[in-house]
Chain A
Amino acid sequence: MSAFLLSVLLITMNSTGWGQEDDERRKLLDQQKALTGKIEDLRHEQDYLLFLKALSSTDSKYLIFTISSRTGRLKYKNRVLKDFRFSDSLPRKRMERGEVTLTKKNEFSKSRKELVFGKSFILQRKGFEVRENLTVPRLLLSKKDFRAVFNALEEGSRAYVIP
């Protein structure tokens, strides 16, 4: 009798898809999560593309920083003026992606200069770092690259950070 009831129980569980429904739900939730992530990525991509679009018609030079490859690019409209590499120094804070603005060009001496992009990061010449405001990440460029970029930009110039 018990065996019979147990068998009926098992058949019932199987026919109502008790286990199958959980599987399906899990798959759908995974799919939902993946799509939500993809939407976020596409929105970030669109933000960057709209930045490029806006700068393609202005009379301003701007910078693009790619964190993963530690490379930067000085551009004017859709033209590349200069490529450069950078390293970072302490503090190794994660840089946020998105648009930033050059808020201050500081010239402490002939060799000690910096470009301050708000609270996001500071560009300095390698070996001549200004050691103030140490909570903000620093990106260090070679002498030639830093001189070129410093000369090219002015306060208010825009930049974009991509991961």
Chain B
Amino acid sequence: MKTAKINKNAPHFALILILLSVLHFNSGPAMASDDPVRPSIDELKSQISLLEQQVADLEEENQGIINMLKGLDDEEPYLVVDTENNRLSMRQGDHILLTAIVGTGSRQFLKEETGRNWMFESPTGSLTVLGKQRDPVWIRPDWSYVEENMPVPPENDPDRIVRGVLGKYALILGNGYKIHGTKWTKLLGTHFTHGCISVGDEDLEILFNSVKTGTKVYIY
């Protein structure tokens, strides 16, 4: 009889035990956890707050760098010459305004008996348009006489002045180099010049009208 009475009350005791367990383990959910692996809600919120601050700091820093880089950009067109493929492009930001087939330095070597020598390469690096010319005149350099086995005249000899061989326009790059026209249009796309950049008439006119003194020219 007594046993039966105990068995009848067992479920009630079980439920009481469960109830007490729930009350014990769920008291103060916001208090610090004793389990080092399982941070409390408050600890998590604190960590998240720190992470949010890190995100804000990084975003601010990155924006600062982006603004600095944007400050370097301008909307000025510039020229790029690819001497390997004999291509000239006029670019403005991410846009290509013009692509032209050009002639660049022949990479030939010329040696004079006196010991002087010349390597006919186009200059590379960052250059600047120093001036613009209409109907440019070619002042024959010494090598042009040496190349043809002709005697080299004095520096101010009028024979050195040749008209009509550099096309209608020229962009002066300095050190004797120019971007100019040519009568050898069939050779455009090859390495045939003595260092200057030769451009076809149509493209040259566009370039002349588009660039100004100070325009950057990058040759590689």
Contact = CB atoms under 8 A, between A and B. Distances in A.
Interface of A: 1-2, 5-6, 8-9, 12-13, 16-18, 21, 24-25, 28-29, 31-32, 35-36, 38-39, 42-43, 45-46, 49-50, 52-53, 56, 59, 61, 74, 76-82, 144, 147-148, 150-152
Interface residues of B, number: 42
Nearest to B9: A1
B44 A81 contact: no
B48 A35 contact: yes
Given A9-B15, A52-B69, A81-B220, 7 more contacts: A12-B26, A13-B26, A17-B29, A28-B45, A49-B69, A150-B84, A151-B84
A76 B218 contact: yes
A2 B61 CA distance: 63
Q: Which 5 A-B pairs have the closest CB atoms?
A: A16-B26, A42-B58, A35-B51, A5-B15, A151-B84
The secondary structure that dominates the A interface is helix
B174 to A, nearest CB: 17
Contact of B19 (A5, A32, A42): A5
B117 interface: no
A74 B80 CA distance: 11
Contacts of B61: 46
A5 B12 contact: yes
12 contacts: A16-B22, A18-B26, A28-B41, A39-B54, A39-B55, A53-B69, A56-B72, A76-B220, A81-B220, A148-B82, A151-B84, A152-B220
